[in-house]
Chains A and B, each alone.
With several copies, the nearest count.
Chain A
Amino acid sequence: MQIRLRLFATYREIVGSRGLTWSARDGITLRELVDGIVAKYPRLADHRGSMLLAVNEDIVSAERVLTDGDEVALLPPVSGGAR
C-alpha cells in the first residue's frame, strides 16, 4: 500500500523533501513505518525521542495500524510564535 509522508523543518532538511510517497506492506504499524524511514535516513535517529507522529492530521500513538492512502506526518518539536 501507499503512504503519503510529510516532513517539516529539520526532518525536511534531513530527508531533502517536504513530502514523498512510501510503499509499505499491508497492516504495517506507524512504529514499523518510522523504523523503515529512519533506516533509510539514519540522521533522523537522533530525533526519534522528540518526534511527534500524526496520521491524517491527528496526533496518534505509534501502535496505530496504517491504511492505504494515509497521510503520515513526522513533526519536530514545535516552536511557533516569536523568538
Chain B
Amino acid sequence: MIDVRRARIDLEAVLDSVRRDDAGAIVLFVGTVRSDEGIRALDYEVYRPMAIKSLTALAEQAKEKFGIAEMSIVHRLGRVPVGGDSVAIACAGIHRAETFAACEWAMDEVKRIVPIWKTEVEGRAKSVRGSR
C-alpha cells in the first residue's frame, strides 16, 4: 500500500497490508505532528504523481536492500493538527533486525527524497488555552 492522502491514516489497515504468514516481524513507524510553541498544525504540500512514484520505488528498494517481505507507506497531505499522524511506514520481515532497519531507512529516505513539503501553521495564543 503506497498512498498520499488527505484523509486520516488508518494504522490498522496499514499494518494489515503488510501481514504475511511467513513473516513473523512487523514494524510500524508513525510520525505525528509534535506540539511546539505556537504551532497548531502542519500543512503538507506534495507533488503527488512524483511522490507516489518515489514512494513506490523506495518500498521496492527497501525489500531488495534488507530482504524484507512487504512495505507500505502512507503520507498525509493538507493540514494535520498537533497530535495527528502525518506518515506511517509498515514493514514485515522474517527476522526483526532487518525489519527494524528497513523501516528506519525508509523513513530517512522519505524525508530525504520524496517531494513533500511542510509549512507550520501558527495559532494565536488564545486565552481559552489557559483554562485547560
Contacts and interface: CB of A to CB of B under 8 A. Distances in A.
Interface string B44-78: 11010110010000000000000000000001000
Given A6-B47, A9-B119, A78 B34 contact: no
Interface in B89-132: 107, 110-120
A11 B116 CA distance: 13
Interface in A14-39: none
A54 B114 CA distance: 12
Contacts of A81: 31, 75, 86-87, 107, 110-111, 116
Given A9-B117, A57-B49, A78-B111, A83 B42 contact: yes
Contact of A8 (B31, B45, B112): B45
A81 B109 CA distance: 10
A82 B25 CA distance: 8
A73 B86 contact: no
14 contacts: A8-B45, A12-B45, A78-B113, A78-B114, A78-B117, A79-B111, A79-B116, A80-B44, A80-B87, A80-B117, A81-B87, A83-B36, A83-B39, A83-B118
Interface residues of A, number: 17
Nearest to A71: B49
Given A78-B114, A80-B110, A73 B50 contact: yes
Contacts of A75: 47, 115
A75 B120 CA distance: 18
A82 B87 contact: yes
Contacts of B86: 81-82
